[in-house]
Chains A and B, each alone.
Chain A
Amino acid sequence: MRLHDLAHGRTGDKGDVSNISVIAYRAEDFPRLLADLTPARVAAHLGQPEASVTRHVLPQLQALNFVLRGALTGGVTRSLALDAHGKCLSSVLLDMDL
């Protein structure tokens, strides 16, 4: 099963910091997301250092918010990446196998 089957999300960027929300479609799946989507696992999936990832939990919205510091190779203004905003990161995260 992929994360994409259970959840949706959105990426935002500010400077060199990316944030990715992961929101369970159904409340009954939220405990599983809470258990499986540790900052370490998310960091590994996105190829980021574990210490750069912080997780915030919003249980009433069955949502997680991951904050990734230094994830945008300098930020949108000077990054050489084609997707300098990191817009695609939420879709990449939803590709994770659970």
Chain B
Amino acid sequence: MTTIRIGAGAGFQGDRIGPAVDLAERGGLDFLVFECLAERTIALAQQARLADPAAGFDPRLERRLRAVLPACAKAGTRIVTNMGAAHPRAAAARARAVVAELGLDLKVAAVTGDDVLDRIGGQVLDETGRPARDLGARLISANAYIGVGGIVAALAQGADIVICGRASDPALFLAPLVHHFGWAMDDWTRLGRGTLVGHLLECSAQITGGYFADPGVKDVPGLAHLGFPLAEVAEDGTAVITKLPGTGGLVSRATCTEQLLYEIHDPARYMQPDVIADFSGVTLDQIGPDRVRVAGAGGQAPSGLLKVSVGYRDGWLGEGQISYAGANCVARGELGLEILDERLREAAILERRGDLIGAQAEAPREVRLRYAARCADRLTAQSVAEEVEALYLCGPAAGGGVTTTLREIVAIASTLMPAGQVPVRAELEEVQHAPA
């Protein structure tokens, strides 16, 4: 029985690059997938695009591609990624430039259509209960979680690198499986199983021992040299999760169970654009060192509605922290909080909280005061940060180590949109080699 090998090269925008290079060089992979978009990332990327029309995609795209492309080209490993963020076309153009510079012969495709900002106005948002257009100038972005369609089309046209924006995370992995095995788009069982593979891999090291170690109880060998996961997937959608020999970390029933339920609500109904996956009967069997066999997922027809994430400006966050240590530290920290409440009593703050981190210990020897506020305007938020800093000279004795934060809050609301209103396209273009 033939299997395909699919690896996870990143589980978030800031993920480590070395383990992906290792997978590209030694993994014998058919596909390497980089998942780099969190809920808010695309709204931040859209803001970057507004400031610079050539920007709006993942700033680490070029670094990641440069690191893995030579090995991927050699091994025939194709890449799928959502690093296109708010601007997949610009990301694809940059990728083509990198490919040409490296002297490689690879086709790059952009998948577009997830951006629905032009038709979001009338949609009622779950969180506000109001149409999106009521946000006015605060509205930044609206992106539908698209399924496998555009990615599969790009792969069918021979793309070696497929760059999309917002897609459902598991779809980045499901698409190569649909393409390779020719799964029917109403084969709910296989689509459910492929979704499970994607769900298990999409957070990279979270299934190979990252976000897992608890010393003395759940020890992870070689955590500093943690390897990223790969799956060997069979035509029926069952799979073995593993990692490369010689890497740190561990793939066990325990790591797989934790990741299986990560960000899952009802395991029997994991809502995806192409399928409602059923993980409730999944079985995990340790069949060898760092090898776990995964089976038992199912699926049923999807709702026909796509989740849409709407990004909007929601005021400013001002925050500051300061430490008090040694004799009477808790009392000095509490006094600091009282002073801040008093000094900021008249400020136009929408919501605030003050904490003394460490004060719950039995006999605290150090506490860290933290004061944070959400404000409608930048100046008020800035004054919150400044008042914490001013505790140096105008607060309790011996406060030290101030840090402050001031940032615009980009909030996310969600709604559902009929899939028919979200046409998706795969845009392919040959690489033009630079003249020698």
Residues of A within 8 A of B (CB): 4, 8-10, 12-15, 17, 19, 21, 23, 25, 54, 56, 58, 60-61, 63, 65, 67, 75-78, 80-82
- B281: which A residues are within 8 A, CB to CB? 60
Point out the residue from A8, A14, A75, A80 that lies within 8 Å of B218, measured CB to CB. A8
> Which residues of chain A are within 8 angstroms of B127 by Cβ–Cβ distance?
15
A50 to chain B, nearest CB (A): 18
How distant is the Cα of A78 from the Cα of B316 in the complex, in angstroms?
9
One of B262, B296, B314, B353 near A21 (C-beta < 8 A): B262
Interfacial chain A residues near B374, Cβ < 8 Å? 78, 80
Write the chain B residue with the least CB distance to A14: B263
Query: What CA separation (Å) do A23 and B352 show in the bound complex?
Result: 36
Is there contact, CB below 8 Å, between B264 and A8? no
Taking CB as reference atom, which chain A residue is nearest B314?
Answer: A78
Question: How many B residues are at the interface, by size bracket?
Answer: 35 or more
A37 to B402, CA, bound (A): 41
Q: B351 touching A21 by the CB < 8 A rule?
A: no
B214-244 contacts to A, CB under 8 A, are 214, 217-218
Question: Does B410 belong to the interface (CB within 8 Å)?
Answer: yes
Q: Kindly provide the distance from the CB of A57 to the nearest chain B CB, expressed in whole angstroms.
A: 9
> Which residues does chain A contribute within 8 Å of B265, judged by CB atoms?
14, 17, 19, 54, 56, 65, 67
B258, A80: Cβ atoms closer than 8 Å: no
* 27 A-B residue pairings within 8 Å (CB atoms): A8-B218, A8-B258, A10-B258, A10-B261, A12-B263, A14-B263, A15-B127, A19-B261, A19-B264, A21-B258, A23-B258, A56-B267, A60-B282, A60-B296, A63-B257, A63-B261, A65-B265, A67-B265, A77-B39, A77-B40, A77-B409, A77-B411, A80-B353, A80-B372, A80-B374, A82-B357, A82-B370
Q: Besides A8-B254, A14-B263, A19-B261, 15 other CB < 8 A contacts? A: A10-B261, A15-B127, A17-B265, A21-B257, A58-B267, A60-B283, A61-B283, A63-B261, A67-B265, A75-B412, A77-B410, A77-B412, A78-B374, A80-B372, A82-B372
Assess the A82–B412 pair: CB atoms within 8 A.
Answer: no
Decide: A61 near B263, CB < 8 A? Known: A80-B317, A80-B353.
no
Which residues of B, 275-320, contact A by the 8 Å Cβ criterion? Answer: 280-284, 296, 314, 317, 319
Interface bits B363-382 vs A (CB < 8 Å: 1, else 0): 00000001011100000000
Does B355 belong to the interface (CB within 8 Å)?
yes
**Complex interface: chain B residues within 8 A of A10 (CB):** 211-212, 258-259, 261-262
B104 CB, min distance to chain A CBs, angstroms: 38
Determine the residue in chain B with the shortest Cβ distance to A60.
B283
Cβ–Cβ contact B214 & A65, under 8 A: no
Q: Cβ of B314 and Cβ of A9 under 8 Å apart?
A: no
Max chain A CB contacts within 10 Å: which of B258, B283, B352, B355?
Answer: B258
B414 at the interface (CB under 8 A from A): yes
CA distance A67 to B257 in the complex (A): 16
B187 at the A/B interface (Cβ < 8 Å)?
Answer: no
B266 located at the interface, meaning its Cβ lies under 8 Å from any Cβ of chain A in the complex: yes
Complex contact B257–A61 (CB within 8 A): yes
The 5 closest A-B pairs by CB, nearest first: A12-B263, A21-B261, A10-B258, A80-B372, A12-B262
Determine how close the nearest CB of chain B comes to the CB of A21; give it in whole angstroms: 4
> How far, in angstroms, from A59 to B356 measured CA to CA in the complex?
40
Q: Which residues of A contact B151 (CB under 8 A)?
A: none
Does residue B260 face the partner (Cβ distance < 8 Å to A)?
yes
Contacts of A14 in B (CB 8 A): 39, 263, 265
Give the chain A neighbours of B214 by CB distance below 8 A: 8
Say which residue of A4, A19, A65, A80 sits within 8 Å of B351 (CB atoms): A80
Which residue of the partner chain A has the closest CB to B414?
A15
